Structure 1
Amino acid sequence: MGMIRKILDFLYAAAGVLAAVCLIAILSLIVVQMIARWTGEVFPGAPNYAGYAMAAASFLAFANTLNRGAHIRVSILLNAVAPGPKRLLEIWCFGLAAAIAWYFTYYAYWFVHWSWKFNEISQGQDAIHLWIPQSVMVIGGGLLALALTDNLIHVLIKGKHRMIRDSVEGHGE
């Protein structure tokens, strides 16, 4: 089990790093496009690539963000109930969220599959095959579904989730 835990934690962290790289790519694309405009050059497809990078950053960050406790949760209710009902609520929340994430990932896969099968090309200046940027949606959705399922199993077995608080608030008080 320890090896699986290390692999999962590595996948979540690697996806977070890739999301950060996508944010740097967005910044780079915007700066290069600004310089191109100032010099009278044209950088075709830059807005489209920035959009693809934004979508990739969002989807790749989901699993890492969940495990860092940065997703929005209704903790007021969870903190107000006794440990027994709290555990049941967390099982229900993680179970429902995991089912929705797996459902999304399944249909996102078929969306990408049909884009590939029909050879869909973007209508922008970049003329890229759409299945390429759409694939990140499947990867990010799958990692989120996996992270939610991982937390669900952890709640079922150990009684608590694996999410950690990564905030600076409250330190030193």
Structure 2
Amino acid sequence: MARLVSNFYQGLLFLSCLSMVAAFCTVLLGVVAREVQWDIPGLDAYAGYAIACSLFLALPSTLRQGEHIRVTLVLDRLPTRMRAVLEWACLLLGLAIALALAWYAMRLAWVSWTTHDVSASADATPLWIPQLGMVLGCIGFALAFGQALLMRWRGQHFIATAAEAARTE
């Protein structure tokens, strides 16, 4: 099961990379189009969709690699028992927030789909399409927090420590 979840995180990270490349290509196309006096409506919106997808899809892998902002300056100075309690509390709070975020992201996409909501910009894209990246990323983020709690319960570490993160850079 852990391997399946890890592959899911990797798949989301791959989609995040594709989204970032799509954003770059869209912006580049917009620059070239302006230079040759060619108007392509909606390019700015597509670049925005791609950047938002890239950010949300990368959330689980970013948590796994320990790249989210953590106040290790405070954590490192706490006694072991207090640090453990604070880490448990943070993981539980993070899971609650990630679950709420996933729920409302799914609800937003569902409402956009059922009401046939489209972008207000010139592209008139059905909004549920770019919102799917946010939904997948939020679900993955909640799953990552759940896995982090489970691994913490077993005495393992899910989030990379500062030394492990420095080794990968």
Aligned-partner Cα distance in 2 for 1:154–1:78: 19
Superposed CA deviations along residues 62-81 of structure 1, whole A, max 9, x for unmatched, are: 11111011100011222222
Structure 1 residue 83 displacement after superposition: 2.8
- After the TM superposition, which parts of structure 1 deviate over 4 Å for at least 4 consecutive aligned residues? none
- Whether the aligned pair in 2 keeps the contact of 1:152 and 1:161 (CA below 8 Å) is no
Partner in structure 1 of residue 12 of structure 2: 15
TM superposition score normalised by structure 1: 0.89
Structure 1 residue 24 displacement after superposition: 1.0
The gaps in structure 1 that reach 5 residues or longer are none
Equivalent position amino acid for 1:65 in 2: T
Q: Are positions 1:122 and 2:119 aligned together?
A: yes
Equivalent position amino acid for 1:116 in 2: W
Identical amino acids, percent of aligned pairs: 31
Aligned length: 166
Partner in structure 1 of residue 142 of structure 2: 145
For residues 133-172 of structure 1, the aligned pairs below 5 Å read: 133-158=130-155, 160-164=156-160, 165-167=164-166
Aligned-partner Cα distance in 2 for 1:37–1:167: 42
For residues 5-154 of structure 1, the aligned pairs below 5 Å read: 5-154=2-151
Equivalent position amino acid for 1:23 in 2: M
Superposed CA deviations along residues 30-54 of structure 1, whole A, max 9, x for unmatched, are: 1111111111212221100000001
Aligned-partner Cα distance in 1 for 2:21–2:133: 17
The SS at the match of 1:167 is helix
